Amino acid sequence: MRPIRTIWFLLFAFAAAPLPLMGAVEPVVVAIVDSGLNGAHEAFDYRGPESGDDQVVAWWDFTRPGVPGPSDRWDARAEPSDETGHGTVVAGLVAGRVPGEWIPAEGFEIAVAKVCDLGGCRGDIQGAIRWAVDVAGADVVVVSLGAGVPIPESVAGVHEAVAYARQHGALTVVSVGNGLANRNVGPGAGSITPFGSSADALVVGNDGGTGLQETWDPEVVADPFTDRAPGAWCVRCSTSARGSSIANARVGSVAAAALALARQAGLNPSPDEVETLLKRAARDTERAPSIEGYGVLDRTGFDELARHAVAGTTPPRPDGDVNSIYVEHVAGGLRSVWSRSLNGDATLLKCHEDPDARSGVIGGGVHPGFGRAERWDVGPDHGVVRVTIEFSSATQDLDLYAVEPAESGWRVVARADSRGSGSDSVMVSTARPVSFLVVGRVVLTEQPYRIAVVGPGGDMTAHSAGGLVCVSTTPRVVHVS
């Protein structure tokens, strides 16, 4: 059993007002699910597997055959290692001692689960998350990984593990990806990692990312750049590293520090409460909520976050806060649709007629439910048809859903997402009648579009069934009121 250590330095560094000393508290453990750790790096206090009071409290190499037992905190087959350096960079920005970097959870205990090596991320990610929670006792789990073409079953397993972590007291922070630079598949092809589409994770994007690294639909953002990543950290870097992995590490550090401050004040907030605190403390900028979520988490706003962590309160948000409406009800609703459909849950939409709709045009505005839509019916045919939508403005966002009638609404059977490309398509079998919804999530001005259907025999006709306003009736955990 490792000793319980104090965290006085946090109080003096960040608390705005003196706090009563309460003695030692249970330390916060952060799990790094990544490519491992270079334990010899000077940023970490690692003194070998026999040490009982250094920084690395648990280690397992999930890229090797074999699984840890229910009490196996340490993989005795090999010392902690990291062939790519990615995990070492992430761990360093979560809890390392790095001159020139702001790391609020500096020196915190870390559990290292290695799931990636030079051959890719082949380890058991969902098993690593469960091990981090059940065996290593992690309070925060940092997952800065993605997958180019996910196998739905494996992604669903990771989603289940993230949900399991939350249910058992651990908050998982996940990088949203690096925009079109990743070309990942998720709620928007090319925009969000499949793990970042979990409805049970805190999803982190890049603050100030531009071009191919501008991220979509994060819940919060942070600085994605570090110039403190020498070759000893990152084999594939020179002196700098950039991306949502860096941003995610920073948010993981903030989450751990906030939880530690709360514990020092005699509180024990749940993952939901820690997530709510971070979201509401995020600093809103002039960027769109689809780009920054609630806003930026950085040193500037940490003093206020720390005061609320100690008091057990949350920072106020303005009335009618568009950022929170967008994150929770628009992007969050779609994230729920995607993650729950991967888990085999039926996603149901309940729609009512939109009397102001015009065919071929999606009206403007932000709808705090699911979206404004137009329904198109395609006659049954035996085989696969491709439905394509094209629209004029790449700055507006339209989605395409294939749906079928259900007892209490419409069941989603497939979806595609244009993500600013100006067009997208979805393929679906029409052995039974299928309808398609063109959905406007956040369309600030009216957006005209065209729809085309091609079947086994050539072009087919789609018949408009009128405009709709839809909400998702699939249950979703909303962490912020």
Concatenate the DSSP letters of all residues of 17-29 into one string.
S--------PPPE
Give which of 418, 411, 474, 408 is closest to 447, Cα–Cα. Answer: 418
Residue 287 corresponds to which tokens in the numbers above?
Answer: 């960027």
Residue with tokens 């999530």: 441
CB 449 within 8 A of CB 411: no
Give dist(CA 79, CA 46) in Å, integer: 11
Give dist(CA 30, CA 333) in Å, integer: 28
Residue 180 corresponds to which tokens in the numbers above?
Answer: 């079109």
DSSP string, 212-236: GG---S-SEEE--EES---TTT-TT
- To 10 degrees, the CA torsion angle through 477, 412, 335, 88? 120
Give dist(CA 232, CA 94) in Å, integer: 17
Q: For 56, phi and psi rounded to 5 degrees?
A: -90, 105
74 burial via Cβ count (<10 Å: 0-12, 13-18, 19+): middle
**Angle (CA) 258 284 334, round 5°:** 85
Give which of 448, 105, 133, 93 is closest to 260, Cα–Cα. Answer: 105
Domain range list for the chain = 8-325, 347-472
CB 224 within 8 A of CB 213: yes
CATH 3.40.50.720, domain 8-325, yes or no: no
Give dist(CA 205, CA 384) in Å, integer: 36
Give dist(CA 114, CA 39) in Å, integer: 13
Give which of 156, 139, 138 is closest to 197, Cα–Cα. Answer: 156
Give dist(CA 85, CA 218) in Å, integer: 25
Query: What's the CATH number for 347-472?
Result: 2.60.120.380
DSSP string, 99-149: TT---TTTT-EEEEEE--BTTBS-S-HHHHHHHHHHTS--SEEEE----SS
Tens of pLDDT along the chain (481 residues)?
A: 343 333 333 443 443 333 333 445 789 999 999 999 998 888 899 998 888 889 999 999 999 998 899 999 999 999 999 988 889 989 999 999 988 889 999 999 999 999 998 888 889 999 999 999 999 999 999 999 865 434 445 677 888 899 999 999 999 999 886 543 333 333 333 334 567 778 899 999 888 754 444 567 889 999 887 765 544 444 444 345 667 889 999 999 999 999 999 999 999 999 999 999 999 999 998 888 888 899 999 999 999 999 999 999 999 998 878 888 878 876 766 666 555 555 555 567 788 888 888 899 987 766 555 678 899 988 765 567 788 888 876 556 677 888 888 877 887 777 665 444 566 666 666 556 678 888 876 676 788 888 888 887 788 888 899 998 887 665 443 333 3
